[in-house]
Structure 1
Amino acid sequence: MQTQKMTDKLEGIVDDLLEDHRLSGEKLKVLLDHREEVRQTLAREASSLTDRVFHRKIYVRGLIELSNICKNNCYYCGIRRGNHNLHRYRLSQEEVLQAVKLGTDMGFKTFVLQGGEDPLLDDDFYLDLVRKIKDINPQAALTLSIGERSYQSYEKLKKAGANRFLLRHETKNKKHYRKLHPKEMSLENRIQCLYDLKELGYQTGTGMMVGSPGQSLDHLVEDLVFIQDLEPEMVGIGPYIPHEDTPFSGEKPGSVELTVFLIHLLRLLLPYANIPATTSLNTLSPQGRDLAIQGGANVYMPNLTPAYHRKDYALYKDKACFNIEAAENLKDLKEVMEKIGYDLVMARGDFEVKHV
């Protein structure tokens, strides 16, 4: 049974979090170790804060998965270079622009271009594509999630019209990073890319998998401390889901419960950040999306990828990419959100400090 001393300590840490929106690594570890005792409080406070900042609005972004070809061989990822059982694809520029036109007609004001680090999709390809997307929908915000690139590449893409960039750091711990990635990849480069993006003025997003192989609560504390220091405008987290064609095929999936708890915590640490309810949550639990939204998430990303390629973008097993996750079912998604008391909106939803 929890002692009065621990109760007082937890209450003090929660008070510090609510007042300062920042905690030391030591205090974050205490909350993670005692999350059952503070879960309801953090869920309530995160929900209340999210409502005050975003007024129960859920911003939608149209997701377009460009290519499942990747030069990297990350051990956890279904589109890793070493997976020879995957049907590979690369959208043509015309297919991407057609998806943007469809999304524009549906009212989307933000598009997210996501893909593996495809060697043939160079700066010239992306610069031309970004400009053409802006020609189709000049008012739209454009998020790129296309991996590690040079400072010069990020700079050119920003000047061409890209507004946001999502690059999940996955883990801040060096030993854990090495467990997840081959030796030719570098945690230092990953982190430098994030600071480059911030310096260039992107609305920058990072995040991690929850429950990835070898991950401990101490690793998650390191991640949270890093995220606090980076001050990203977006944070995307989701539970790890193993893929059968990776070295981690036999590993257990991450915890929906812990992921949702971390969303509560991230909302209280970063009151104004855009936090999506990720597809991986919905893949593991029918209630995953709703729990995330009711506990701090304010973004959802319906899929605009051509339907004949959605299953091919298989980062993990049994990805939920049809039904309510599909952009063509936007009306159904809106009704689902209304049932739990939220309004689905098509606005850009830019990061904004609102001082509520």
Structure 2
Amino acid sequence: MQVELDKQEITELLKSSDRERADLLNRAQEIKDAAVGNKVYFRGLVEFSNICSKDCLYCGIRKSNGKVVRYNASDEEILAACRFAWENRFGSVVLQSGELSSPAFVKRVDDLLKGIKKLSKNELGITLSCGEQTLETYQRWFESGAHRYLLRIEASNRDLYYKIHPNTEKHLFEKRIEALHFLREAGYQVGTGVMIGLPFQTYEDLADDLLFFKKMDIDMCGMGPYIEHEETPLYQYRHLLKSKQERFDLALNMIAVLRILMPDINIAAATALQAIDPAGREKALKVGANVIMPNLTPCDYRKEYLLYEDKPCLDEDAELCRNCLEARIELAGSEIGYNEWGDSKHFQNRKS
């Protein structure tokens, strides 16, 4: 079932428009249904802290943004959100934060993992997205209950990487790659992803991103359109951007081509899609995505976890968010895999 495509073929597919594009999106949906089925898996998203040690040039919660109100949700609030996910049969949660690596942070995440496993009687699956860590930290968290990890590369082209990150010891491209290898070594289902439609980014760069995912043999992917934030250095290059609609369409093309290239991985329908198109996430489900992340972050904190502008669902409580997504998924013609971890079939196939 796996399709081999070279860089030129991928580039042409990403440029698809109109009738060609309809063919591409339909083909991706057919491959998705055959490889991973029609189920969509929930990952209850808990953005538990926006305190970050990094200064990425595109990110609204970068360390140097003095206009951000920093927060750290309490352990009780985090565990309450995870209990909601468990009681509402989500199957899995995602703990996401700014990038920190202090001993206190490592221990806190470790304790939270054990707490989530305890309150859910080991039933909740756990994905982490807490940035670059040492192999020892990744192993510690894995042993405490995390089994999936999302570490986005954001741009696999080294030159482009340093156009959107400072070229400092804290933001080394090689260290990011090394961390992805550490995750594989520690036993995780490994996820990464990129921003689509960045300033300076070409179609060829995006084709290389997809080939990078294949070379890294990833198990899951989270990628979406780049949306600018005015309190970031990259905002000055907004005149170089494609329109938001063009970025949205290109993101759907990326999801579709990735599904064709890697039929059995998990692909998330990114929240950023909904920031451009109210039906953005459902459209992603129709062209290859099979994971969606209801936001369970306490409402008081959501507006402060603003990686980009126009982020949706800032004022919906967890119950509203769940009901809304259930209806959207039904409209998209998919079913929800309640009480299922929804592990990557690619990971399972590779392990066996």
| TM-score, normalised relative to structure 2 | 0.90
Deviations 1:131-150 (A, max 9, x none): 11111111211000000111
Whole-angstrom CA distance in 1 between matches of 2:7 and 2:324 = 41
**Match status 1:21 vs 2:14:** no
**Match status 1:87 vs 2:69:** yes
Indicate the residue corresponding to 1:165 in structure 2: 149
Indicate the residue corresponding to 1:350 in structure 2: 343
Whole-angstrom CA distance in 1 between matches of 2:315 and 2:267 = 22
Aligned in 2, Cα 1:28/1:146: closer, same or farther, shift over 3 Å? same
Indicate the residue corresponding to 1:111 in structure 2: 93
Shift of residue 190, structure 1, vs aligned partner: 0.4
**Match status 1:144 vs 2:98:** no
Whole-angstrom CA distance in 2 between matches of 1:69 and 1:327 = 26
Whole-angstrom CA distance in 2 between matches of 1:95 and 1:20 = 43
Indicate the residue corresponding to 2:278 in structure 1: 286
1:203 aligns with one of 158, 167, 189: 189
Indicate the residue corresponding to 1:320 in structure 2: 312
Instruction: Tell me the SS of whatever aligns to 2:127.
Output: strand
Aligned in 2, Cα 1:325/1:345: closer, same or farther, shift over 3 Å? farther
1:192 aligns with one of 158, 178, 181: 178
Whole-angstrom CA distance in 1 between matches of 2:95 and 2:200 = 30
Q: Larger deviation: 108-117 or 21-30?
A: 21-30
**Match status 1:263 vs 2:255:** yes
2:13 aligns with one of 25, 31, 44: 31
One-letter amino acid matched to 1:98: A
Cα pair 1:22 1:228 within 8 Å, conserved: no
Cα pair 2:13 2:253 within 8 Å, conserved: no
Deviations 1:223-256 (A, max 9, x none): 1111011111111110000011111224146510
Aligned in 2, Cα 1:165/1:207: closer, same or farther, shift over 3 Å? same
Cα pair 2:2 2:262 within 8 Å, conserved: no
Indicate the residue corresponding to 1:329 in structure 2: 321
Q: Larger deviation: 313-322 or 344-353?
A: 344-353
* Structure 2: gaps (5+ residues): none
Deviations 1:265-302 (A, max 9, x none): 01111111111111100001123112111100111100
Indicate the residue corresponding to 1:128 in structure 2: 111
Q: Which has the larger radius of gyration?
A: 1
Whole-angstrom CA distance in 1 between matches of 2:45 and 2:150 = 12
Aligned in 2, Cα 1:87/1:196: closer, same or farther, shift over 3 Å? same
1:182 aligns with one of 166, 175, 182: 166
Whole-angstrom CA distance in 2 between matches of 1:235 and 1:89 = 27
1:217 aligns with one of 187, 192, 203: 203
Instruction: Tell me the SS of whatever aligns to 1:113.
Output: strand
Cα pair 2:299 2:317 within 8 Å, conserved: no
Deviations 1:293-318 (A, max 9, x none): 11001111001111111111000011
Cα pair 2:2 2:263 within 8 Å, conserved: no
Query: 4+ residue runs of structure 1 moved beyond 4 angstroms?
Result: 33-37, 323-327
Whole-angstrom CA distance in 1 between matches of 2:279 and 2:91 = 27
Instruction: Tell me the SS of whatever aligns to 1:172.
Output: coil
| TM-score, normalised relative to structure 1 | 0.89
**Match status 1:61 vs 2:43:** yes
Whole-angstrom CA distance in 2 between matches of 1:56 and 1:323 = 30
One-letter amino acid matched to 1:194: L
Cα pair 1:134 1:140 within 8 Å, conserved: yes
Cα pair 2:60 2:306 within 8 Å, conserved: yes
Whole-angstrom CA distance in 1 between matches of 2:188 and 2:41 = 19
Instruction: Tell me the SS of whatever aligns to 1:66.
Output: strand
CA RMSD of aligned residues (A): 1.9
One-letter amino acid matched to 1:273: I
Whole-angstrom CA distance in 1 between matches of 2:303 and 2:219 = 29
Instruction: Tell me the SS of whatever aligns to 1:309.
Output: helix
One-letter amino acid matched to 1:134: K
Cα pair 1:323 1:329 within 8 Å, conserved: no
